[in-house]
Amino acid sequence: MQRLLHHFRKSHDVACNVSCIISVNPIRDVACNVSTIFCAFTFHSMKVNGTPFHTIWLHPEIPGIVQVIDQRKLPFEFAVVDLLTARDAFDAIRNMTVRGAPLIGVTGAYGICLGLLGATTGNWRTELEATASLLKSARPTAVNLAILVDEMCLALADCTTNEMAIQQAYREASRFKDREIAWSEAIGENGLPLIEEISRKKNGATVNILTHCNAGWLACIDWGTATAPIYKAFHKGIPIHVWVDETRPRNQGARLTAWELSQEGIAHTVIPDNTGGHLMQHGMVDLCIVGSDRTTLNGDVANKIGTYLKALAANDNGIPFYVALPSSTIDFTMHDGVKEIPIEQREADEVTTMEGVREDGKVGSVQLVNPGSPVANYGFDVTPARLVTGLITERGVCSASEAGIRGLFPERLG
């Protein structure tokens, strides 16, 4: 296996490099043929220029290599990155080549596979423990990463050789990926009635939904979490319009959610982060749906910074505020999100600069903040359970409470 991996590195030179750039024009919709990148998958729902895609997959021709969409480049370029090592997976998570709690978790699972594939010391179990610790340190807030890495290690407990562990690891990682897809679609089905009810009350008029950050298929594998009910409603013919928070500082709403919705043909409007409250006051929002990076047993929700303020505004205006999440995002060991959830603090340059298309048509960054001024960049905030109307999970909708969560997932608790 080591010789095989060495051959791939030498002959393909693909370690953590962009393997394909499909579109570099940020202004016009380039008609491009993406089917040449991978055609092995036929069961996707979400599309890129009409071709079904997932956010992570195994290379169709080179065994062992993991490929991911480089989300740092969207919507200006569509690029695919090859991951050959556990360090590649760590870097992809840390630098947000991949992001979103479910996708981070699955990437961590495949990172375990890559670590085993590259084991060099002869003591693969020791290397497995080191790889697991490395991967779990990449980003602290999203609990999916730690949960799936630990599940991978547990699944390998009975393996007696590295070769056996490699085979088992890839099977498990693929199973976790398929599980996240199924859970996302189930979230969509369980959230659909909420939109249908509003549509009936409005006599078929457009349902206006506000979302924050990107909890779409890019943050998962397919369907997404917050977007899954939206996609299901749209496919069912319900008129939908989405208010898309830009979501500073990385603009994941303006860049990623808007791109997703454009690809699906869903009506949407990008708004500055502080606009949501104004829209709610004037009856222009029917429903808020957001995702989660970690939800505690009592129903507190950690999500992208700014979510808490949207929940406050929704509560003040009597607008339902739902959180869509798979059970892999629930931390059954925590009971107080504000006190217990670790909040990631990211680099200052995410705030001081902004990336976009310059007048010369090239993508680049510009300075926004007064030089020398200190910057705080908290990546997440916690919305208390009292502000959450309900949790939309793969098993149904429940109250944001320990009783509600226990009711849906009794086997996870003593």
Please pick, among 70, 82, 245, 293, the residue that the annotation labels catalytic.
293
Rounded CA separation 356/366 (Å): 8
Residue with tokens 């630990």: 150
The pLDDT-based confidence of 382 (bands split at 50, 70, 90) is very high
Q: Average pLDDT of the chain?
A: 89
Residue 323 confidence (pLDDT): 98
Distance CA 109, CA 86 (A): 10
With the CA atoms of 196, 200, 205 and 207 taken in that order, what torsion angle do they form, in degrees rounded to the nearest 10? -30
**Is the pLDDT assigned to residue 32 strictly greater than 90?**
no
Q: Could you confirm whether domain 2-180 is CATH 1.20.120.420?
A: yes
Query: Mind listing the pLDDT tens digit for each residue in 135-145?
Result: 999 998 878 99
DSSP code at position 255: I
Q: What are phi and psi of 99, to 5 degrees?
A: -155, 170
More confident residue, 27 or 262: 262
| Residue 34, pLDDT score | 28
Please tell me the predicted confidence (pLDDT) of residue 142: 78
Residue 413: pLDDT band (50, 70, 90) is confident
Please tell me the pTM assigned to this model.
Answer: 0.87
- Catalytic status, residue 293: yes
Domain ranges in the chain are 2-180, 188-412
Is 80 exceeded by the pLDDT of residue 225? yes
The CATH number, out of the four listed (3.30.70.380, 3.40.50.360, 3.40.1180.10, 3.40.50.10470), of the domain defined by the range 188-412 = 3.40.50.10470
pLDDT of residue 21: 36
Alpha carbon of residue 118 to chain centroid: 27
Q: In what order do the strands lie in the sheet with 240-245?
A: 267-271, 240-245, 207-211, 287-290, 321-324, 390-393, 396-398
Q: For the ranges 24-38, 52-66, 93-107, 335-349, which has the lowest average pLDDT?
A: 24-38
Looking at residues 375-392, what average pLDDT do you find? Answer: 98
Q: What are the helix (H) ranges across 33-122?
A: 86-94, 101-117
Express each pLDDT in 143-199 by its tens digit. Answer: 899 999 999 999 999 999 999 999 999 999 999 999 999 999 999 999 999 999 999
What number is the average pLDDT over the span 79-88?
96
Q: Residue 36 pLDDT more than 50?
A: no
Q: Kindly indicate the confidence band of residue 26, based on its pLDDT and cuts at 50, 70 and 90.
A: very low
Q: Calculate the alpha carbon distances from 119 to 3, 15, 86, 124 in Å.
A: 12, 16, 10, 6
Question: Phi/psi of residue 348, each to 5°?
Answer: -65, -30
* Token representation of residue 378: 């908290």
Q: How confident is the model over 270-308, as pLDDT tens digits?
A: 999 999 999 999 999 999 999 999 999 999 999 999 999
Question: Residue 253 to residues 8, 108, 304, 382: CA-CA distances in angstroms?
Answer: 37, 24, 11, 19
Asked if pLDDT for residue 10 goes beyond 80, the answer is no
Q: Tell me what the mean pLDDT of segment 15-30 comes to.
A: 33
Q: What residues pair up with 330 in beta bridges, in sequence order? A: 295
What string of DSSP letters covers 301-368? EEEETTHHHHHHHHHHTT--EEEE--GGGEETT-S-HHHHSPPPB--THHHHEEEEE-TTS-EEEEE-
Q: What is the pLDDT of residues 308-321, one digit of tens each?
A: 999 999 999 999 99
What per-residue confidence (pLDDT) applies to 414? 61
Does the pLDDT of residue 403 top 50, yes or no?
A: yes
Residues 6+ positions from 213 with CB-CB distance below 8 Å = 245, 247, 252, 253, 257, 290, 291, 303, 304, 306, 307
